[in-house]
Structure formats: C-alpha cells, structure tokens
Amino acid sequence: MKELSCDVAVIGAGTAGLAASGAAHRAGAKVLLIESGSSGTTCAQVGCMPSKLLIAAAEVAHQAATASIFGIETAPIRIDGRSVMARVQHERNRFVRSVLKSYEAIPAQSRLTGLAHFVDGQTLEVENEAGERSRVRAKAIVIATGSRASVPKTFQSVAARVLTNETIFELETLPASVAVIGAGAVGLELGQALHRLGVRTAIFDRDTDIGGLRDEGMNRHARSLFAEELDLRLGVDIQAEPAPGAADCVRIKWQAKSGEGAEGTADFSHVLVAAGRPPNLEALRLQRAGVKLDEHGVPEFDAGTLRCGDSRVFIAGDASAWRPLLHEAVDAGTIAGHNAARFPDVRVSTRSAPLAITFTDPQIAIVGDTSLKPRLVGKADFSDQGRARVMNRNRGCVRLYADPSTNRLTGAEMIGPAVEHLSHLIAWAVQGDAQVRELLELPFYHPTLEEALRSALRDLCAQLRLVPAYEVGSMEYGPAI
C-alpha cells in the first residue's frame, strides 16, 4: 500500500472541495485533493446550469405562446424535444469542461483519484478503480463529498421510469408526461419548465408549503399563483405502481394526508423525484473519524469554523446538509480550507446572509433569517406595480422583515418578476446591518421593479413611525404614470 502524507486532505473535488483545496494551498499548506472519479460539480453537471438551460428554453416557449397580449401573433409553436435536450446537454458539457480544467490545473502530485474512507481521525484509505490502495496521513481533513440523488422505497416498483436531477438531463428528448415528486425549488423549477415545453405535468408533495417559503400568507399566495398554471397536488400521500397494461407508464394514486378530501389516480410516462438530496457520506466510515453524528448521520459542526466538534475534521458544502447552494459551498470550502491549514489555530468567520432563489415564473426568493421574532412586516404588491404591468408580469408580492427594537432589516420573502435581482439588494442590506430609513433614502429609479422595495420600506417606516402613515403611498407610481 502506498503511504502519503500532507497537511490537509480534502475529500471531494466539487465546488466546496475545490474552494477548500485552494484556500488551504494559499495558506501555505501541503494539500492533497481526493476525488472519486466523477466529473464536474453538482452545479455544472446535474444542478444549477442544466436546469437553467431547460428553464431558458421554457421561457422562450412561454413568451411565444403569450405574445398575443402585446398584439404580436406568432405561428403555431412547435417544440422540438430532441433539439431542446441537445442544447441543454451541449451547453452543460461546456460548463463541466470548464470545471474540469480547474481541477486538472492542480499539480498531479496534489491530486489523488479513488474512493476514500476514514481509518482514524487523521488517516484515510483511498482505493482506485484498479483496486490500488493508498494510505493518507493528514494533519487535518476536509469532508466535501457533496450530495446525491435519493429515490424513496415508494418508487422501487417503477424504478425503470424514475428520473432524478442526475438522470433527467440525459434524456434524448422531452418525456411525454411527468409526475414531479416535491414542490421545493427543484420540483417547482423543473415542473414548470417541462409544462411550458409541452410536457403533461403534475406536482405532488406531502407538505402544503412550496418553494421553501415559511410565511403562511406567502405560501397561500404562491399556491394560488402557481395553481393558475400548474397541476398542484399538495398535502397528499402518494403511491406509485406500474400502470396496468402499459409497461412504459407509472400509475400515481394520491389522497389527502388527512384521509379526507382530494384523491385521484393518473398515469405518467415518468416520475421525477425532486424531494431533496441527502449528503453523500455513506462510504466514509465516519464512525472511525472521531466525530459526533446527528440523527441523520451527518457530522455535527460549528457553522463559523466548519470544524466537527474537537476533531481535526472539517466539513463544507452539500455534505454538511446546511444551505446546500453553490455560493454557500464556496464560502464554506474557503473557511474550512483556511482553518484546516491553520489547525489548531481555528478562527470563526462571519457567514454571508442567507439567500435562496427559485427560478420559476414568478420567481421566489428568501433572504435572511425569516424565523426571527418579533418582527415588523413591510408589504408591497406587484399586481398594480407600474413596470410589472408594462411587462405583463404583475403577479406576486414582497414581504420585508425588520426588527422593531433596532429598525434594522432582518430578511425578506418575495414572489414576483426578477426577484433574483431584488433579493440580492436585500441580502446585501441585511448583511450590512442596514436600517430601514437608510435604505429608503437610497435612489429608486422610475419605472423599475425595484420600486416595489421602496413601497415595502415605506410601509415599514410607517410602522416604525419614521414617516407619517399618510406618506406611505404618496410616492407610488401606478401604471398610468
């Protein structure tokens, strides 16, 4: 067995692993990056980028289908499923190649290919596809193994017709019909995109919340908006079985969890399971690492240092099951890599304000800690907002949250046009500890969607008695202006 030693061993060469490796190297550590052999990051290969490519095609199809409201008539729309998927795969592969270039630029002596597991808290054993094994001794170890698709046992009998985010983008053409399991970000995004591309689609979830929204009022509003376009079956238990007499179909049966109310049966060519991605930790033999595991088998860790207990082990990215988003994986990998390189001089880092975006139409965005109480809620509605009406995208609303004791913005929940951009402004304000009145004094150009933020800020200011209530609507511009 080959014996290797390093200052920092990083398990996983995805987004978090590459960030951790780079940070540790910049800190002067001798780094060994261990990758099992899979290509590309989750984002590039099966996540952010291929899904946005599919959504982009769906947006064009939807714009063409709804152009008549602007007096523009289009010929009957024909969607070429093979061409749609060919472009998704071509562009996806380009993104993956870019990631691989970053990995391959790392010196060969700083990379090791194979599946790693812990021998003890400082030692790893790595076995490659040829069965060759290496033993790696490190001063500190970073776990950055990412997450994996998971298919519940409910769907074992129809496994041949089940898709996940790891397989749907490999289809040669668009499916005929899809039952989407999960109304979170992935399920909503892909469900709506497939629907707009002519695929018969229904979305099922045991919960009634959608898109990660926490506020019940916002959830009701979101359910109402999406139900105008999509077949939503929320708060239901489902069963899946082969459709009688149709080997290429799945029969989905659903019933309200309460046992009363909605129930039904429908057949679909495929099932898309989009009900979460658990951390990819099974092969690591964590019981040997000297780390404490939670009830889900994930190492307990400090969010400011990424250190697992009092061990020499750090964890970053989707492997931690905490904020599984690319920008968070970069931040976490950087923090974990720096601390692993400096070990035992571990330092606490301030994390960025939470920000999550669902790329549906209308979009959904969640900023900050939306569970903080007490709070004041500043409201704005897109239904009569000038720029939104101009674009025929006047659906949704904004909720800004503020601490009444400090007048500071703490978070937001949004549904509406281009809230991917508006939410960044609020995230920057939350991270900058900005006060509501300070934000209201900033410029808001007219006519822009950003004026919705001003409306919500003025509402907060009135509640905080920073402006008279009668002034709240005095600077609002309707569609006629």
Residue list, annotated binding site for FAD: 52, 145-147, 318
CA 48 to CA 409: how far, in whole Å? 29
Q: Nearest 5°: phi and psi at 27?
A: -80, 0
CA 444 to CA 442: how far, in whole Å? 7
CA 307 to CA 205: how far, in whole Å? 35
Is 90 catalytic? The answer is no
Q: Which residues contact 135 (CB under 8 A, 6 or more apart)?
A: 1, 2, 3, 4, 119, 123, 124, 125, 126
Choosing from 90, 327, 421, 446, the catalytic residue is 446
3-state helix, strand, coil in the chain (%, to 5): 35, 25, 40
DSSP string, 224-290: HHHHTTSEEEESEEEEEEEPTT-TT-EEEEEEETTSSS-EEEEEESEEEE-S---BS-GGG-GGGTT
CA 20 to CA 41: how far, in whole Å? 14
b/e string for 193-219 if b means 16 or more Cβ within 10 A? bbbbbbbebbbbbeeebbbbbebeebb
Q: Which residues contact 354 (CB under 8 A, 6 or more apart)?
A: 323, 366, 367, 368, 369, 411, 427
CA 414 to CA 177: how far, in whole Å? 30
SS (H, E, C) 351-388: CCCCEEEECCCCEEEEEECCCCCCCEEEEEECCCCHHH
Q: Nearest 5°: phi and psi at 366?
A: -130, 130
- C-beta separation of 183 from 211 below 8 A: yes
DSSP 298: P
Name the amino acid, one letter, at 475. Answer: M
Give binding residues for NAD(+) as ranges: 182-189, 276
Q: Which residues are catalytic?
A: 446
